[in-house]
Amino acid sequence: MSDARSVVSHVRSQVRGLDPYRVREVGSGYILMNKNENPYDLPADLKKAVLDAAMENSWSRYPPIVAQELHTQIAN
């Protein structure tokens, strides 16, 4: 715990004194723009396609620095 206090001591007092941001709960039927929510879910087949594409790639390496394949696909 002393390590955490040591780190926090490096944060400016003006920042430490700020009140934390809180998202208040509201009833259903509201679109909460401050939560970056989308009121519409993605179709199940699109979710599956995204997951399948993610599973085809290695997760143990960083992606290329320049996403040339993505650039080409967008340009096409």
Q: Which tens digit of pLDDT belongs to each residue from 13-71?
A: 999 899 988 877 777 777 777 777 777 899 999 999 999 999 998 889 888 889 999 99
Quote the number of domains for the chain: 1
Residue 65 is assigned to a structural domain of this protein: yes
Residue 17 is assigned to a structural domain of this protein: yes
Residue 1 is assigned to a structural domain of this protein: no
Structure confidence at residue 72 as a pLDDT band (50, 70, 90): very high
Phi, psi of 35, deg, nearest 5: -105, 5
C-beta separation of 16 from 8 below 8 A: yes
Residue 57 is assigned to a structural domain of this protein: yes
Both tokens of 21, joined, read 């941001």
Summarize pLDDT for 21-30 with one digit per residue, the tens: 887 777 777 7
Residue 22 is assigned to a structural domain of this protein: yes
Please provide the size of the chain in residues: 76
Q: What angle do CA 36, 44, 33 make, to 5 degrees?
A: 10
- In 1-76, the DSSP E strands lie at none
Residue 34 is assigned to a structural domain of this protein: yes
> pTM here?
0.41
Q: With H, G, I as helix, E, B as strand and everything else as coil, classify residue 44.
A: helix
Amino acid 36: pLDDT: 76
Residue 2 is assigned to a structural domain of this protein: no
Q: Name the residue range of residue 34's domain.
A: 7-75
Alpha-carbon span 12 to 40, nearest angstrom:
41
